[in-house]
């Protein structure tokens, strides 16, 4: 079969954001975001380049509905070939809708509703699922299974779509679970150098006309459906901002020596690790008081979470989130608290008293206190930890709702913002996470805000020795 070589300058024909996708060999290449960002064009370009440069291919291009193919992916791919002056290298079969290159490579097109045709296609070596938000998860899984076995080149499924709903399976599969073999590329019209001002103005006008469309098609952020408790627009704007201005200073975990049933304070170290449980947005600042709100996992799949707030500004300084046994969670909170200038720690006690007790046993110096009236002895007792009740829960949530509305810039943690978008009012009016979603980061943050009143809110004076900045364990001993 003849070799094909073409000489194209990608700088002229491709958007800058699309250059790296040409070399990307991950199994899943996820192109998502707002309308008109150039996702479909980029996928078509990559496909045509692979058709020309590699050998032994049979690409499958799919959409949900067969009769939408001709006016979209089919004409886009043919247009790309024409633009690059390479149409003569391809044989076009209009009636069956397939394209064969002189080097033997093939592209076949099918709609998921064309079951017979799909069944008849064998030996697929690569795929593009266009407008994947229309596709059911089961159908996608079936497609995924079809790209298996030996192929001469790397096997990749390109997936392009607009993020129409935060509850969509695509969010769960490729974002929440963070597949290691997926490359995720987010783009909006602002990343497309080939669109005109008129198109830009149209998208921007959505801001006034329809906040949902603006969110999904202009900002390219996950659309919110349903009655969210937090202000969705504020949360989405913040997410958008953080995407462009990443704010994680470092990620990692705490390690420590454990001797005679105690944590050795001087041994506590923060070890950087991208997969670590702690995301730090502000390293401990001298003379600054901090508080930590904690929520323990209520079983298997839940996370335990600790939210650290700078108690002068109210901003999230760090978020600890992970799966671990409650005693280890307590030890991690101990380290986090010591790291942040002996922060005041408020941990939820409803599900499990263990972390609070464990912190006491470890002699952690500063825990949130609550007054409990004892019916038998008719006395008021002071206990450690925060208790979420029918009364306290709505109050702390309402306070957090107000913070998001007035000062969303205090929320530095992306996971927390994401949880806020799926935190809704159920049929009984009770605010809770949508089915299959979590609210641990929200509850931990609400508790942290509640705890602020038991910690000072101004910088620590020099003569207040006990609060002295530890320089992350450098200077003062405990």
Give the span between the Cα atoms of 197 and 187, in whole angstroms.
17
Is residue 40 involved in binding Mg ion (CB under 5 A)? yes
Nearer to Mg ion, 134 or 265 (CB): 134
Is residue 37 involved in binding ligand ATP (CB under 6 A)? yes
Contact stretch for ligand ATP (CB under 6 A) within 187-195, 238-246, 306-314, 354-362: 187-195
* Minimum CB–partner distance for residue 418 and ligand ATP (Å): 21
* Minimum CB–partner distance for residue 367 and Mg ion (Å): 53
* Minimum CB–partner distance for residue 33 and Mg ion (Å): 10
Q: For residue 130, which phi and psi values (nearest 5 degrees)?
A: -90, 145
Give the span between the Cα atoms of 230 and 224, in whole angstroms.
11
Q: Nearest residue by C-beta to Mg ion?
A: 40
CB contact at 8 A, 239 and 221: yes
Nearer to ligand ATP, 30 or 280 (CB): 30
Q: For residue 375, which phi and psi values (nearest 5 degrees)?
A: -65, -35
Give the span between the Cα atoms of 347 and 335, in whole angstroms.
14
Nearer to Mg ion, 38 or 355 (CB): 38
CB contact at 8 A, 393 and 376: no
Is residue 80 involved in binding ligand ATP (CB under 6 A)? no
Binding partner selected for residue 168 from ligand ATP, Mg ion, none, CB under the kind-specific 5 to 8 Å limit: none
Is residue 35 involved in binding ligand ATP (CB under 6 A)? yes
Max Cα distance, the chain (Å): 94
Q: Which is it for strands 250-255 and 258-259: parallel, antiparallel or unpaired?
A: unpaired
Of residues 336, 319, 309, 362, the one with CA closest to residue 473: 336
Q: Pick the binder of ligand ATP from 125, 167, 192, 296 (CB under 6 A).
A: 192
Is residue 133 involved in binding ligand ATP (CB under 6 A)? no
Nearer to Mg ion, 40 or 341 (CB): 40
Q: Pick the binder of ligand ATP from 21, 28, 40, 311 (CB under 6 A).
A: 40
* Minimum CB–partner distance for residue 13 and ligand ATP (Å): 6
Is residue 258 involved in binding ligand ATP (CB under 6 A)? no
* Minimum CB–partner distance for residue 36 and ligand ATP (Å): 4
What is the DSSP track for 435-454? TT---HHHHHHHHHHHHGGG
Count of CB atoms situated within 10 Å of the CB of 425: 13
**How large is the C-alpha radius of gyration of the chain?**
27
Is residue 36 involved in binding ligand ATP (CB under 6 A)? yes
Contact stretch for Mg ion (CB under 5 A) within 40-48, 205-213, 228-236, 268-276: 40-48
Is residue 82 involved in binding ligand ATP (CB under 6 A)? no
- Strand blocks (E) in 260-343: 262-263, 269-272, 278-280, 290-295, 304-310, 316-322
Of residues 390, 328, 403, 334, the one with CA closest to residue 362: 334
Binding partner selected for residue 268 from ligand ATP, Mg ion, none, CB under the kind-specific 5 to 8 Å limit: none
Nearer to ligand ATP, 194 or 258 (CB): 194
> Any bridge partners for residue 184, and if so which?
30
Residue holding tokens 């952690």?
A: 364
- Classified as helix, coil or strand, 123 is coil
Nearer to ligand ATP, 40 or 470 (CB): 40
Residues that bind Mg ion (CB under 5 A): 40
Residues that bind ligand ATP (CB under 6 A): 13-15, 35-41, 162, 192, 194-195
């Amino acid at each position: 079969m003849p070799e094909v070589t073409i000489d194209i300058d990608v700088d002229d024909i491709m958007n800058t954001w699309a250059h790296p996708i040409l070399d990307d060999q991950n199994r899943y290449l996820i192109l998502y975001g707002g309308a008109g960002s150039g996702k479909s064009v980029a996928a078509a370009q990559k496909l045509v380049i692979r058709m020309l440069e590699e050998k032994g291919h049979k690409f499958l291009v799919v959409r949900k509905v067969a009769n939408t193919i001709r006016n979209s992916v089919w004409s886009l791919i043919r247009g790309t070939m024409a633009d690059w002056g390479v149409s003569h290298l391809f044989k076009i079969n209009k009636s069956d809708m397939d394209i064969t290159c002189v080097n033997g490579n093939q592209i076949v097109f099918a709609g998921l509703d064309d079951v017979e045709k799909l069944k008849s296609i064998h030996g697929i070596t690569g795929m593009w699922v266009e407008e994947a938000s229309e596709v059911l998860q089961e159908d996608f899984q079936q497609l995924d299974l079809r790209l298996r076995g030996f192929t001469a080149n790397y096997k990749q499924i390109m997936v392009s779509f607009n993020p129409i709903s935060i509850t969509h399976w695509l969010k769960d599969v490729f974002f929440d679970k963070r597949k290691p073999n997926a490359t995720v590329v987010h783009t909006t019209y602002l990343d497309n150098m080939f669109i005109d001002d008129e198109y830009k103005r149209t998208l921007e006008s959505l801001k006034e006309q329809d906040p949902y469309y603006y969110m999904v098609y202009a900002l390219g952020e996950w659309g919110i459906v349903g009655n969210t408790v937090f202000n969705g627009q504020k949360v989405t704007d913040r997410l958008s901002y953080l995407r462009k201005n990443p704010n994680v200073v470092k990620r990692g975990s705490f390690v420590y020596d454990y001797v005679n049933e105690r944590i050795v304070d001087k041994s506590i170290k923060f070890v950087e690790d991208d997969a670590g449980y702690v995301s730090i947005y502000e390293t401990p600042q001298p003379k600054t008081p901090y508080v930590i709100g904690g929520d323990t996992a209520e079983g298997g799949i839940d996370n335990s979470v600790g939210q650290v707030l700078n108690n002068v500004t109210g901003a999230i300084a760090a978020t600890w989130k992970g799966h671990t046994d409650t005693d280890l969670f307590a030890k991690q909170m101990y380290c986090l608290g010591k790291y942040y200038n002996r922060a005041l720690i408020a941990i939820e006690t409803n599900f499990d008293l263990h972390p609070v007790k464990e912190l006491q046993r470890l002699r952690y110096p500063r825990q949130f206190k609550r007054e409990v009236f004892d019916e038998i002895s008719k006395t008021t007792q002071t206990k450690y930890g925060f208790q979420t009740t029918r009364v306290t829960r709505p109050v702390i949530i309402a306070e957090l709702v107000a913070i998001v509305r007035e000062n969303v810039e205090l929320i530095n943690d992306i996971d927390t913002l994401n949880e806020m978008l799926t935190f809704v009012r159920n049929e009984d009016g009770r605010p809770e996470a949508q089915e299959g979603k979590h609210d641990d980061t929200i509850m931990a943050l609400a508790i942290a805000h509640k705890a602020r009143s038991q910690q000072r809110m101004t910088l620590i004076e020099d003569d207040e020795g006990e609060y002295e900045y530890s320089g992350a364990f450098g200077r003062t001993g405990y």
